[in-house]
Amino acid sequence: MLWTQFWLAEQLSHRWPVERDGEDVDLLLEIDNVRDSGNYRSLQVTVLQAPDDLGVDIRRLKLGWYGRKGAFSHRLPVVGERLQGVVRLRALRGMVNGLPFDYEGQMLRKQVDARGYIRSVSSLAPVAANGGWRQRWLEQQQVQQGANVWPWIAGLVLGQQDAFTAEQWRVAQATGTLHLLVVSGLHLGMVCALLYGLLALVIRLLALAGMAVFVLRWQESRLIRALLMLILSGFYLWLAGAGVALQRAWLMLVVLLLVYGSGWRISPLLGWTVALLVILVINPLMVLSSGFHYSMLAVLLLLLFLSGRNMSWLEGIWRPQWLIFVGLMPVALSWLQPLSPVHLLANAVAIPVLGFVMLPLVLLNVIWPGGWFAEPLVWFGDVWWQSLEWAARVPLPILSGAGIGLTVIWIGLLVLLYLGASPWRAALGTIASVVVLFMVPPAVPERLLLLDVGQGLSLLASANGHSLLYDTGALYSDEFSVADLVIIPVLRQGAGVLDVVVSHSDQDHSGGVPSLLKRGAAVRDWYVGQHIESLNSALDCHQQDDRWHVFGNDGRWRFLLVPLMATADDNDHSCVVMLEWFGQRILIMGDLSSAYEQLLVGRYGDELRTDVLVASHHGSRSGSSRPFLETAKPREVWFSAGFHNHFGHPHEDVLERLRQLHISWRNTAEVGAIEMKPDGSVLGMRTGWQPVWRQL
């Protein structure tokens, strides 16, 4: 604990402070990683030189590279190059929605000290000046390998996350095989097994050649075997880019090899505990990584349940798979990852295929680029993706929430597995458990959340097994939206029967629609204020009546309608919703302008009275006019705005009106997601106790 406090203090001393958010600094950088996402490039860089008076020793940054105009006439940099330029630095301040993923903690764990974007480039050194042996080898491999072969090498051997397309990542996630595409302990174990087999083959050849002295030393010295494997595995770690998951697996392997080489006899549990200690001493915040929980618990389960157990070859196939699936179920659900029997079935086939077919073919192509093994790899690769796409479409139930019933069943299954139930009993228990676990829907929590989605809007209200989602946040790139990061995980906590209102077509309100459609969100009815291409069958909210839509005894909502003028801009197409939830009234305005606010006042008058007003247009001075506020008479106003957004939302004019009318307000940029309880109490998720690394 003392070491963790010291380690945290050291990391926090390097972090760019929130008080200096948005400052421009001239830096010399070395490019560590490049990801190309259409018109946006993401760079991970190491700071080589900064101004002497900067005051903060920043080390690593995540930067955006936008467009190719003006200062960006330079070509896109590649790994290993050095770049001199002006960078706008932003503090690492994530969105807080009560979800397990902690952006600020993850960046601290990776020792990234700031984010931002490159404003101008003064010089960009060619690769020849700075590129190392690894980078030159990578470029040579990419040239020599075919276009269909390289993604497998880049993904399965070198750990490059952009090796596979966004659609392939989605299919892998839907089938629970995503871990197979991330270079981790599984890949390290397979590579080490192949390397050990090659070493044994070399020793056998030396024996046939009459070099018995080498054979005797190999057979008699555990230490020599352990050191050779340590060197070879360390070389693979370096070659694969030394990702966090791979580092963690390699550290566990180091402990295993040192114990093996020394001849010590220790229990498997003690070896696991030593590895855990080493990992947490090196990086105490590893506990914030889902991969850490998955890998450590998986290894522990295999050690406790399978050590010393005699199994038939059939048991050796199904028992480890089922053990991992059942044992890691609470971890997956606590990280809001959906579970399905498809995941178990897909992994039962995919893991052996990857270990015994795909990975050997990939390594053979690395050794012999463009040789005989390229065509088989391409063929198996096509079959791999086609099979996963088929599995993703299998309509088996999905489990995304946990309760006391699940916990009891989970403990019972682990007890059966530990006691070693016979195969037919285990099969019956498996079938019964799947029926119970996946056919009972999770409970829907009663909550009202104005989600922290940055410069965008999304509100979720749930009651009596029904939910209303108003707006879906912003789109970051063609591959990623705030819905992937926030809204979909929140819905996985339980949504029941879901209706979605997309106020209008602006991307900060409709940007998450593609993600919701791709992730198969079970939406009963879609309502839109403007036509959205991917929602051709959606209902136009302006063509509806203003009757109440009821979900149970504790919630109902309706549209408030005004006629659209011919000159109405996108913002004035916003669907306006009045929500009644456990006796509280919430009025949601979208991006409506003050002119249309007056039309609402003229039509509905005192019906606009509300307890909470979700302010129009993130607090822009184009809305929240004084006459409207005087009519609605909200107890408090909620703003959904991004931290230090360049629009200046909420505008000072709006805040001054609220002060004059003695109306309090909350802003997601300051307090995080705003949650209302059924008793009417309200809290912001950045208030109360926060981790030491949280920037307020």
pLDDT category at 69 given cuts 50, 70, 90 is very low
Q: Which helix (H) or strand (E) holds 35?
A: strand 23-37
Distance CA 687, CA 174 (A): 35
Query: 360 preceded by cis ω (within 30°)?
Result: no
Using the structure block, give the residue that is written with the tokens 């009318």.
661
Contact 463, 502 (CB under 8 A): no
Distance CA 592, CA 613 (A): 13
Tens digits of residue pLDDT in 658-677: 999 999 999 999 999 999 99
Instruction: For residues 248-255, give the mean pLDDT.
Output: 79
Q: Which helix (H) or strand (E) holds 684?
A: strand 682-684
Distance CA 419, CA 481 (A): 46
For every residue of 68-97, DSSP letters joined together read: SSGGGGSPPP-TT-EEEEEEEEE------S
Q: Check pLDDT > 70 for residue 217.
A: no
* Residues making up the chain, counted from first to last: 696
Distance CA 570, CA 586 (A): 23
Tens digits of residue pLDDT in 580-637: 999 999 999 999 999 999 999 999 999 999 999 999 999 999 999 999 999 999 999 9
C-alpha distances out from residue 566 to 495, 570, 576, 623, 687, Å: 37, 11, 18, 20, 45
Radius of gyration, CA atoms only, the chain? 28
Structure-block tokens of residue 594: 């003050």
DSSP state of 177: -
Q: Check pLDDT > 50 for residue 465.
A: yes
Give strand pairing partners of 580.
556, 585
Higher-confidence residue of 525 and 201: namely: 525
Distance CA 95, CA 111 (A): 19
How high is the pLDDT of residue 219? 58
Tens digits of residue pLDDT in 539-568: 999 999 989 999 878 899 999 998 887 667
Question: For the whole prediction, is pTM greater than 0.75?
Answer: yes
- Of the listed ranges 303-317, 358-372, 479-493, the one predicted with least confidence: 303-317
pLDDT category at 6 given cuts 50, 70, 90 is very high
Which are the contacts of 383, defined by CB distance < 8 A and separation ≥ 6?
none
Q: Check pLDDT > 80 for residue 640.
A: yes
Q: How many CB atoms lie within 10 A of CB 602?
A: 10
Contact 81, 124 (CB under 8 A): yes
Dihedral sign computed on CA atoms, order 596, 598, 601, 603: negative
Distance CA 491, CA 497 (A): 11
Q: How many CB atoms lie within 10 A of CB 411?
A: 11
Q: Check pLDDT > 90 for residue 522.
A: no
Distance CA 568, CA 570 (A): 7
Edge-to-edge strand list for the sheet holding 549-550: 549-550, 555-560, 576-581, 584-588, 612-614, 636-639, 664-667
pLDDT category at 462 given cuts 50, 70, 90 is very high
Tens digits of residue pLDDT in 288-298: 988 888 888 88
The average confidence (pLDDT) of the chain is 84
pLDDT > 70: percent of the chain: 85
What type of residue sits at position 28?
L
Cα end-to-end distance, the chain, whole Å: 24
Residue 647 CA neighbour count, 13 Å, CB half: 16
Distance CA 394, CA 307 (A): 35
Q: Check pLDDT > 70 for residue 210.
A: no
- Parallel, antiparallel, or unpaired for β 497-502 and 466-470? parallel
How high is the pLDDT of residue 275? 83
Tens digits of residue pLDDT in 9-51: 999 999 999 999 999 999 999 988 887 765 567 889 999 999 9
Alpha helix segments (H runs only) across 336-477:
341-353, 359-367, 374-392, 404-419, 423-439
How high is the pLDDT of residue 638? 97
Higher-confidence residue of 317 and 403: namely: 317
Higher-confidence residue of 685 and 431: namely: 685
Q: Check pLDDT > 70 for residue 306.
A: yes
Distance CA 354, CA 384 (A): 9
Q: Check pLDDT > 80 for residue 518.
A: yes
- Of the listed ranges 30-44, 66-80, 312-326, the one predicted with least confidence: 66-80
How high is the pLDDT of residue 136? 73
How high is the pLDDT of residue 178? 78
Structure-block tokens of residue 154: 């880049």
Tens digits of residue pLDDT in 325-358: 777 878 888 888 877 778 878 887 888 888 778 8
C-alpha distances out from residue 268 to 311, 312, 424, Å: 19, 22, 29
Which of 52-56, 157-161, 260-264, 324-328 tops mean pLDDT?
52-56
Distance CA 505, CA 533 (A): 10
Tens digits of residue pLDDT in 94-121: 999 999 999 999 999 999 999 999 998 8
Q: How many CB atoms lie within 10 A of CB 371?
A: 10
pLDDT category at 70 given cuts 50, 70, 90 is very low
- Of the listed ranges 193-207, 405-419, 465-479, 621-635, the one predicted with least confidence: 405-419
Instruction: For residues 484-508, give the mean pLDDT.
Output: 91
How high is the pLDDT of residue 423? 54
Distance CA 95, CA 673 (A): 8
CA 234 to chain centre: 28
Higher-confidence residue of 443 and 639: namely: 639
Give strand pairing partners of 665.
637
Domains of the chain: 2-131 (2.40.50.140), 288-337+402-442 (no CATH), 447-684 (3.60.15.10)
User: For the chain, what is the total number of helices (H) and then of strands (E)?
Assistant: 27, 22
C-alpha distances out from residue 284 to 2, 288, 292, 331, 559, Å: 11, 9, 11, 19, 50
Instruction: For residues 67-79, give the mean pLDDT.
Output: 61
Distance CA 343, CA 325 (A): 8
Structure-block tokens of residue 572: 């004035």
Higher-confidence residue of 484 and 73: namely: 484
How high is the pLDDT of residue 90? 95
Distance CA 490, CA 483 (A): 9
